[in-house]
Amino acid sequence: LNMKARGSLLKFLQKVDTFVHRTIGTNVVAAQEEREGCKSLYAVEAERQEQAERSVLISCHSRTNEKKFLNFLSRHGDINKYFFYESYGMYALVEFTNQESLSSLFEAAAIPSVSHESIVPFKSRLLSLRNLGSMESPNHQVGQQCQLQTSIPINKLIQRLSREESIDQQITSLTDVYQLTEENSRLRFLVCSLLKDIAAAYFPESTIKAFGSSVNGFGKLGCDLDMFLDLDGISEKCAKMPRSGLWLEYQMKQAISERAVTQSILSVIGDCVDQFGPGCVGVQKILNARCPLVRFTHQPSGFQCDLTANNRVAIKSTELLYLYGELDPRVRHLVFTVRCWARAHGITSSIPGAWITNFSLTVMVLFFLQRRSPPIIPTLDNLRDLAGPTDKSVIEGNDCTFVSDFSKIHLQSNTETLEKLLCEFFEFYATFAFNKMSISIRKGKELNKPEMAPLHIQNPFESSLNVSKNVNVTQLDRFVAVCQESSWLLQQKETSTPNEGKAPTPWGLAALLMPSKVAGIKGRKKRRREPASERIKSLLESLKTTN
């Protein structure tokens, strides 16, 4: 190039530079403003809990006339929100504007008399609306909009994604269909609130809070409902013993440990749920697990519920995941995509065992996003350094402090597309040195593995623990093999670009969700090579973890 041409090229590049800088700068400012408007998980939960307290669940006939249904219920007060759904029958969630409406509703509700059963007069907010004559007349217009409470099957998802125009659109579309809906979130909080009414029989001031994927922003329609019996509010009040005045007299049986106390509380609540919890079936008390729990199905909502107590580290993990998900929309999109991809290839499973769990997988995605250049999300140590005095939290000697004020977090301007990030994710883990390195989102970098587990992911709040201790070599190998295959598929023109034609064949993300050619083969080969002693060892490990 001659000098003049060089000069104009330079000027042009400077203009491009300024433009890019301005555009990204504006995006960064906009994103920062958006973050400042983000509600903390506490605020979201408080709002949802309050809504749930004003709500009831009503079992009704499938031909219920919506208008008449509303007229009937409106006699008890204004209705703020309602929706119908199906779960072993038709149900409606009805949220009144005022809580007083519930008393009016209960006054009008009869307790049925059944000749062959003795009735426990426990008035729960699960009601039945039956035999209201013309309300159920077949001549009336029926078929009120039923809100789906489960996600669409994988083959339908693949068809839908194949019709999108770019991989970025496929990823956002997957999140749209899989994420919890507004209605499903309300139903989850209502089930917690119904359970709280049962727990309140023993502990009137206790609350039941949701945690895990129901509230961390990564929940898929149909995921389990993790609940936590919160007695801390009560014990905090008891902490200060007055010098004079009144205090409560109670029978104290010395328990040998905090764990024993948790087990006995869960045991009585479990019995209560079993005996008096309307719609609660298949109650199992799994009290010897590392984290004791009561598991049951809440039939009217269709949720598989896990009730724990004294599980404060898991609550902190939930808050942390929620925060990361709110920082940048790409976090949630990528987590949803990777979770769905992993489920499609049997890398994760609903049965406990040597599989990678959704929680471990989420931490792996977060770690990958911290390793981008520039990083998309900060490390946990960064978040701890930004914490204010009220954020301080130490649980059983572990520092769980991190910032809660979103506006204090300033992100670097990384503008990578979702497509690019997905390809890089597979590449990153297809070549990761799992044999030597551990994954740490606290430090945001690989650390030397402290123990010889096949996959080592440092527990964010209990750094000496490995969250993927249950994973065996076979499962890790399958994960790596499917990462390699997916990375390869995304590099092939035929599978990574949309195809013309009326019935589009799966491409891009849709192709990645199709049955893998390598996963099964690698898994089988590995299993044959693994000596029996190894297999027994990993089986024992997985049983220990499950317990």
Q: Does residue 175 touch ligand GTP according to CB under 6 A? A: no
Q: Could you tell me the two tokens for 354?
A: 């040597």
> In this chain, which stretch among 67-75, 221-229, 494-502, 539-547 interacts with Mg ion, using CB under 5 A?
221-229
Q: What percent of the chain is helix, strand and coil (3-state, nearest 5)?
A: 50, 15, 40
- For ligand GTP, the closer CB: 172 or 358: 358
Position among 44, 109, 261, 314 found at the interface with ligand GTP (CB under 6 A)? 314
Q: Which does 516 bind (CB under 5 to 8 A by kind): ligand GTP, Mg ion, none?
A: none
Residue 354 · residue 475 · CB < 8 Å:
yes
- For ligand GTP, the closer CB: 211 or 434: 211
Residue 424 · residue 370 · CB < 8 Å:
no
Q: Does residue 293 touch ligand GTP according to CB under 6 A? A: no
- For ligand GTP, the closer CB: 85 or 336: 336
> In this chain, which stretch among 157-165, 312-320, 369-377, 537-545 interacts with ligand GTP, using CB under 6 A?
312-320
Rg (CA), the chain: 27
Which DSSP string corresponds to 278-342? TTEEEEEEETTSSS-EEEEEETTTTEEEEEEES-HHHHHHHHHHHHHHHH-HHHHHHHHHHHHHH
Closest-by-Cβ residue to ligand GTP is: 212
d(CA 263, CA 309): 9
Position among 162, 213, 472, 542 found at the interface with Mg ion (CB under 5 A)? 213
Compose the 444-473 pattern: x for residues touching ligand GTP by CB under 6 A, - for all others: ---------------x-x-----x------
Q: Could you tell me the two tokens for 364?
A: 């792996």
Q: Does residue 398 touch ligand GTP according to CB under 6 A? A: no
d(CA 120, CA 136): 29
Q: Does residue 223 touch ligand GTP according to CB under 6 A? A: yes
Position among 313, 347, 380, 439 found at the interface with ligand GTP (CB under 6 A)? 313
Phi, psi at residue 228, to the nearest 5°? -140, 125
Closest-by-Cβ residue to Mg ion is: 212
- For ligand GTP, the closer CB: 223 or 309: 223
What is the separation, in whole angstroms, between the first and last Cα of the chain?
Answer: 72
Position among 60, 127, 212, 294 found at the interface with ligand GTP (CB under 6 A)? 212
d(CA 402, CA 408): 11
Q: Which does 313 bind (CB under 5 to 8 A by kind): ligand GTP, Mg ion, none?
A: ligand GTP
d(CA 508, CA 513): 9
Count of residues engaged in binding Mg ion, rule: CB under 5 A:
4
- For Mg ion, the closer CB: 212 or 444: 212
Instruction: Give residues with Cβ within 8 angstroms of 166, minimum separation 6.
Output: 419, 498, 508
Site for ligand GTP in 340-379 (CB under 6 A): 357-359
**Mode of pairing for the β-strands spanning 303-309 and 225-230:** parallel
> In this chain, which stretch among 11-19, 99-107, 111-119, 220-228 interacts with ligand GTP, using CB under 6 A?
220-228
Q: How many CB atoms lie within 10 A of CB 143?
A: 9
- For ligand GTP, the closer CB: 168 or 226: 226
- Residues near Mg ion (CB under 5 A) are 212-213, 224, 226
- Residues near ligand GTP (CB under 6 A) are 211-213, 216, 219, 223-224, 226, 313-314, 317-318, 357-359, 459, 461, 467
